[in-house]
Structure 1
Amino acid sequence: MTPYDSNVNSLFSSLVDSASVSNFNKFEISPPGNSHWDDVYGLFQCRGYLNSAECKDCMAASVSQLKTICPVSTGGTIQLEGCFVKYDNTSFFGIEDKMEASRKCGPSGGSNLDVLSSIDNVLTNLISENNQYFRKVDLGSIQGVAQCVQDLSASDYQDCLSEASRSLRSECEASISGNMYLGKCYIKYATDNGKCLFQHHLHHRVMVV
């Protein structure tokens, strides 16, 4: 095992352990005496609706899958339904990332103007919830959630969510549900005919690799 591989394993252990007490944390693993080429940076974030046990469980699943998917990589990212993990050999902390990672549009709801207007209201309310990294809006028949990675500044995460919302409405238009994952934020909505956004038993499902 190389020094870098050993540092990655230490990082993964730190991420999983930290998830039992926090829904976000970041680490730099740089043991004394090691070359800076062996440094590794990583962070995790769990969904705002998960409790500490669910967060740690989701993180353990994420790390296990990363070890399988990226066994010899110097970095990797995985987005499960309930948590997000990223690591690399160069620091990415505090750097905005608005590149589209994944999107999914549900079935069309036709041209029901009331539904479309309510969807717009949900997305607008999600964006306007200032200074909240995790945001949830429930207008009865329509739910919406959004979250940004907490290493971003307030202006950067507002910018990220605005871009995610614009892209989601452009791509999913009349859909009764939809989600848009950018590099460091996501936004999603669903109507009564879509799916519940807070299904805890699905938080191990892979969304983005």
Structure 2
Amino acid sequence: MIYSQIVKEDRGSEEMETFHFAIVCFILSALALSSCPCHGITNVNTSLQCSEADGSATENAFQTNLENLLDTLVVKVPVSNGFYKTETGKKSDKLYGLVQCRGDMSATDCANCTKNAVAAALKECPKSKQVCAWFTWCFLRYSNQNVFGIMDETSVAITNNTDFDDPSVVSKGIYFMGGLASTAPNQPHMFQKAVLDVGQSGKRYGMAQCTLDINRADCGKCLDSQLALFRTIIGNKRGWETYGSSCFMWYHDYLFYFNISPPASEGEFRA
């Protein structure tokens, strides 16, 4: 299996100028996006991004604030509909953090994913002050800069380069995901999943979600940006996923999500 991955960095922001990626896209090669129905219902460490090592990250003040921040996220996110953001510390010692669980996750799965993401972040990025950890079921981010409410277009696309879809389905799939990008921001939790019926070629399943710290307009911009940025890579593929700091999209020919869903967020499309 061959995976394609591209990372776009928004060099225009001061935050991303200092965010040097030490670890990018650790993917379990045993899981093929195109053929393994277990992917999506198994919690996989998809990617980690660590800022440049900073010796002050090991000092007691930072470690105490980080521990308090992460402990709070672990406790609060599963009882907060899968999203929670918080901050700890004062003035220059402040830390900001959030967790966004996938919209189809139960509270138990959200809690477990958050614990896994926290453990991975602490292990792989012990001297970083800015960390992003993407798992299949959740996204963890913490930073010594205030990242709340700022739409970040940094994204990665993952697909199997050899798994091409039926040409008659390609344009329908892109249109279908474009529809999710348009409607997801208007959902109560900015999360939507849907089914595309493509006749003899079966069905395609899609999902779109934004982190709940950004507004609805920026959610739409984030999802549209991913579709535009990766169109040539994902356009003719049977399955793909995009992961970003502010939004995420999935598209597969198998049912990868759970039946749990926020209200008014599931539909069926026919082409």
TM-score normalized by the length of structure 1: 0.85
Aligned residue for 2:186, secondary structure, equals coil
Alpha-carbon distance in 2 for matches of 1:174, 1:74: 38
Alpha-carbon distance in 2 for matches of 1:153, 1:172: 26
Other-structure match for 1:171? 233
Q: Paired residue for 1:56, among 72, 95, 111?
A: 111
Deviation at residue 173 of structure 1 after TM alignment: 2.3
Other-structure match for 1:149? 211
Please tell me the residue identity of whatever aligns with 1:24: F
Could you list the structure 1 runs, at least 4 aligned residues long, displaced by more than 3 angstroms after superposition.
none
Alpha-carbon distance in 2 for matches of 1:152, 1:24: 12
Alpha-carbon distance in 2 for matches of 1:48, 1:77: 19
Deviation at residue 90 of structure 1 after TM alignment: 1.1
Residues 168 and 178, structure 1, Cα contact 8 Å, conserved in 2: no
Other-structure match for 2:171? 117
Residues 47 and 83, structure 1, Cα contact 8 Å, conserved in 2: yes
Q: Paired residue for 2:147, among 87, 92, 96?
A: 92
Deviation at residue 53 of structure 1 after TM alignment: 0.6
Other-structure match for 2:130? 75
Deviation at residue 125 of structure 1 after TM alignment: 1.8
TM-score normalized by the length of structure 2: 0.66
Alpha-carbon distance in 2 for matches of 1:12, 1:40: 10
Aligned residue for 2:78, secondary structure, equals coil
Residues 122 and 142, structure 1, Cα contact 8 Å, conserved in 2: no
Residues 118 and 142, structure 1, Cα contact 8 Å, conserved in 2: no
Other-structure match for 2:40? none
Deviation at residue 9 of structure 1 after TM alignment: 0.3
**Is the aligned partner of 1:17 residue 2:75?**
yes
Deviation at residue 157 of structure 1 after TM alignment: 0.7
Alpha-carbon distance in 2 for matches of 1:169, 1:137: 20
Superposed CA deviations along residues 145-184 of structure 1, whole A, max 9, x for unmatched, are 1111110011111100001122232222211111122221
Alpha-carbon distance in 2 for matches of 1:65, 1:51: 21
Other-structure match for 1:29? 88
Over aligned residues, Cα RMSD in angstroms?
A: 1.8
**Is the aligned partner of 1:136 residue 2:193?**
yes
Alpha-carbon distance in 2 for matches of 1:62, 1:108: 29
Alpha-carbon distance in 2 for matches of 1:29, 1:83: 21
Alpha-carbon distance in 1 for matches of 2:220, 2:78: 28
Residues 167 and 180, structure 1, Cα contact 8 Å, conserved in 2: no
Please tell me the residue identity of whatever aligns with 1:85: L
Residues 28 and 41, structure 1, Cα contact 8 Å, conserved in 2: yes
Residues 41 and 90, structure 1, Cα contact 8 Å, conserved in 2: yes
Structure 1 unmatched runs, 5+: 201-209
Residues 145 and 197, structure 1, Cα contact 8 Å, conserved in 2: no
Moved more, 178-187 or 72-81: 178-187
Alpha-carbon distance in 1 for matches of 2:116, 2:130: 17
Alpha-carbon distance in 1 for matches of 2:119, 2:258: 22
Aligned residue for 1:123, secondary structure, equals helix
Structure 2 unmatched runs, 5+: 1-58, 198-202, 260-271
Aligned residue for 2:85, secondary structure, equals strand
